[in-house]
């Protein structure tokens, strides 16, 4: 594909853009439990207007764009106050939770390595900790030490953390909340443990930290997790999730400037301008910063409180509805508006149930089994879902009955034979293409409408093998025309 020789009319280009989106997730419908955090047209319009007004401004040099520096400092200040911080706390605006986590890990790693030359640092976290910490360790040449979650609560176990600490531990991670089950780790105990050993303690609040203080204000039992907890040295919190800002909006916060210093990268060793970056990105569009500032200003504390009131009621309705559906069980006791449920009925295949819900127009997210967490269906609840709750719960009961009555999906003998014959240690493109074809996937990784068998295949694999297969799949998916 080439750049067109002659430019095309604007309307023709816009028509193409619209047509390209015809198969995208219908997130505006209110029937999607994932990916887009939708609080309504009014809030979205404010964010989009501010985003476009500052789209071209560049935060690479904040001295030349003082408006962007103001947006960043004021947004970060609001977040610090929201999370119990004081005047010593500092932070930066980032593109998302992964970048915030990468920066918190970098600060901990660089500080540790400066004090312990030649020692390879470790991150200590629970199995329920976000994949971004594994990614950070992979990028930065670190090790991860993983403890298992409590099999009933799915919370991290402080005693297991205590037993796993070594002289190489540079960062302890807790979640508020973790994504998979929506529960908050015992942050006070983990932070006390970290402080007693002189180790940094990061709280991953990317998905939950914005909402949880409002839930507590509404009377929900939310344990302390933020800067009010001694020993917490850094936090991450996304604003493009439950702050309903346009995507590209998160913050990484530190208890003081000394803890942040190693986060900042500088370079004066090349022939160009001297580089100083507080974040991973160098050039940064002012759009997300302006949009976050405008959204927070427009919605305000009381507006967010009312949105959270609806989320709290919705979470309770879903949990109760799942518990009243024969064969289904909620995993843990979710404190966020994230709910995971599994099947305890051998006749009710959880992946088949997900397919049936998707056929009825609901987007739900299947999650594979992991150690003591069984395969499940995950829901991310947003305000847009709330008017549709009665219909969803009615369809959930109907689909559960249908899944139970139907013949349970099975991995076909042909696939089983193909899996048994493949040497995954020497997996190559040709073998993987053969495996895709055997699984019923078309060229370029086109997925079938029903995906229960594919999820069952992945669920039967050990995590390292899943990762390898998915690496090949995504390498196949991104092919240029």
CATH number at residue 162: 3.40.640.10
SS (H, E, C) 351-362: HHHHHHHHHCCC
Q: Which of 349, 382, 405 is the last residue of a domain?
A: 405
To 10 degrees, the CA torsion angle through 8, 12, 15, 20? -30
Any alpha helices (H) in 65-142, and if so which ranges?
Answer: 66-82, 97-115, 131-140
Residues 390 and 437 in one domain: no
Q: Are residues 255 and 389 in the same domain?
A: no
**So what's the pLDDT on residue 438?**
67
Q: Does residue 363 sit in the same domain as residue 261?
A: no
Is the pLDDT at 8 greater than 80, yes or no?
yes
Provide the token pair at 29. Answer: 């419908």
If asked whether residues 116 and 84 sit together in one domain, one would say yes
Mean pLDDT on 187-203: 98
| Mean pLDDT calculated for residue range 326-352 | 97
Q: Are residues 309 and 343 in the same domain?
A: yes
Domain count, the chain: 3
The verdict on residue 83 lying in a domain is yes
pLDDT for res 412 = 79
Residue with tokens 């559906």: 325
pLDDT of residue 459: 93
Residue 199 lies inside a defined structural domain of this protein: yes
- Give mean pLDDT, residues 451-467: 90
Per-residue DSSP letters for 7-69? Answer: PPPHHHHHHHHHHHGGGS--GGGS-B-SS-----HHHHHHHHHHHHHTSS-BTTSTTT-HHHH
pLDDT tier at 408, thresholds 50, 70, 90: confident
Give the structural domain span for 426: 413-477
Instruction: Give CA–CA dist 205/60, Å, rounded.
Output: 26
In the listed set 295, 328, 353, which residue is the last one of a domain according to the structure?
295
The answer on pLDDT for 475 being more than 70 is yes
Q: Is residue 207 part of a domain?
A: yes
- In percent, how much of the chain has pLDDT > 90? 85
Q: What per-residue string of b and e applies to 220-237 under the rule 16 or more CB within 10 Å gives b?
A: eebbbbbbebebbbbbbb
User: What is the model's pLDDT at position 21?
Assistant: 95
**In the predicted model, is pLDDT for residue 442 greater than 70?**
no
Maximal CA-CA distance, the chain: 70
Return d(Cα 233, Cα 107) in angstroms, integer.
Answer: 11
In sequence order, the β-bridge partners of residue 235 are 203, 253
Least confident stretch, 96-100, 153-157, 405-409:
405-409
Closest CA to 186 of 166, 219, 206, 162: 162
User: Is the per-residue pLDDT at 376 higher than 80?
Assistant: yes
Residue 433 lies in a domain: yes
Cβ atoms within 10 Å, residue 352: 25
391/433 same-domain check: no
Average pLDDT for 86-106: 98
pLDDT higher than threshold 80 for residue 379: yes
The last residue of one of the domains, among 245, 277, 295, is 295
In a domain, 44, yes or no: no
pLDDT of residue 448: 81
Does the pLDDT at position 265 exceed 90?
yes
Same domain, 312 and 247: no
Residue listed under structure tokens 């600490």: 165
Q: 416: pLDDT confidence band, cut at 50, 70 and 90?
A: confident
* Same domain, residue pair 96 and 206: yes
Query: Average pLDDT of the chain?
Result: 94
β-strands 200-204, 234-238 pairing? parallel
- Tell me if 455 is assigned to some domain: yes
Kindly state whether residues 126 and 184 are assigned to the same domain. yes
Phi-psi group of 154: left, alpha or beta (phi > 0 → left; psi -120 to 50 → alpha; rest → beta): left
- In a shared domain, residues 265 and 381: no
- pLDDT value of residue 262: 97
Does a structural domain hold residue 205?
A: yes
Place of tokens 């302890």: 172
* Pair (317, 262) in one structural domain: no
Q: Kindly state the percentage of the chain with pLDDT values over 70.
A: 98
Range name among 6-15, 301-310, 423-432 with the lowest pLDDT average: 423-432
Residue 38: inside a domain: no
Contact 187, 218 (CB under 8 A): no
Residues 290 and 316 in one domain: no
Q: What is the pLDDT of residue 69?
A: 97
> For position 443, what pLDDT does the model report?
59
* pTM of the predicted structure, to 2 decimals: 0.95
CATH of the domain at 327: 3.90.1150.10
Give the range with max mean pLDDT: 34-38, 73-77, 273-277, 431-435: 73-77
278-328 per-position pLDDT tens digit: 999 999 999 999 999 999 999 999 999 999 999 999 999 999 999 999 999
pLDDT of residue 440: 64
CB 279 within 8 A of CB 289: no
């Amino acid at each position: 594909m080439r750049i067109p020789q002659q430019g095309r009319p604007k309307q023709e280009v816009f028509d193409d853009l619209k047509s390209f989106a015809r198969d995208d997730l219908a997130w505006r419908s209110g029937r999607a439990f994932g990916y887009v955090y939708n609080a309504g047209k009014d809030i979205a319009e404010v964010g989009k207007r501010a985003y476009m007004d500052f789209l071209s401004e560049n935060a690479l040099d904040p001295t030349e764009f003082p408006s962007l520096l103001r947006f960043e400092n004021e947004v970060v200040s609001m977040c610090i106050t929201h999370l119990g911080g004081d005047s010593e706390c500092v932070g930066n605006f980032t593109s998302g939770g992964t970048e915030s986590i990468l920066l918190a890990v970098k600060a901990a790693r660089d500080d540790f390595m400066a004090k312990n030359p030649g020692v390879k640092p470790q991150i200590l976290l629970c199995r329920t900790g976000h994949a971004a910490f594994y990614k950070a360790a992979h990028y930065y040449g670190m090790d991860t030490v993983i403890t298992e979650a409590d099999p009933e609560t799915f919370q991290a176990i402080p005693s297991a953390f205590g037993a796993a600490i070594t002289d190489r531990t540079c960062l302890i991670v807790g979640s508020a909340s973790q994504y998979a089950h929506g529960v908050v780790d015992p942050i006070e105990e983990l932070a006390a443990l970290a402080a007693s050993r002189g180790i940094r303690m990061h709280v991953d609040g990317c998905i939950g930290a914005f909402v949880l203080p409002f839930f507590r204000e509404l009377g929900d039992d939310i344990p302390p997790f933020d800067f009010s907890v001694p020993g917490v040295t850094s936090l991450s919190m996304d604003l493009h999730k439950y702050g309903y800002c346009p995507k590209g909006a998160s913050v990484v916060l530190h208890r003081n400037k000394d803890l942040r210093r190693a986060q900042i990268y500088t370079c004066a060793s090349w022939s160009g301008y001297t580089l100083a970056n507080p974040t991973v990105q160098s050039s940064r569009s002012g759009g997300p910063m302006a949009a976050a500032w405008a959204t927070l200003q427009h919605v305000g504390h009381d507006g967010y409180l009312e949105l959270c009131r609806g989320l709290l009621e919705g979470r309770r309705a879903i949990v109760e509805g799942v518990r009243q559906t024969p064969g289904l069980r909620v995993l843990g006791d979710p404190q966020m508006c994230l709910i995971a449920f599994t099947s305890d009925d051998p006749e009710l295949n959880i992946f088949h149930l997900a397919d049936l819900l998707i056929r009825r127009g609901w987007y739900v997210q299947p999650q594979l089994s992991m150690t003591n967490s069984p395969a499940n269906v995950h829901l991310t609840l947003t305000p847009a879902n709330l008017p549709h709750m009665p219909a969803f719960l009615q369809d959930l009961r109907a689909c559960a009955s249908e899944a139970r009555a139907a013949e349970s999906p099975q991995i076909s003998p042909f696939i089983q034979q193909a899996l048994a014959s493949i040497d995954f240690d020497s997996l190559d493109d040709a073998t993987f293409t053969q495996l895709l074809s055997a699984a019923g996937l078309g060229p370029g990784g086109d997925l079938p409408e029903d995906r229960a068998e594919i999820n069952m295949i992945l669920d039967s694999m050990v995590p390292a093998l899943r990762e390898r297969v998915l690496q090949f799949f995504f390498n196949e998916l991104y092919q240029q025309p």
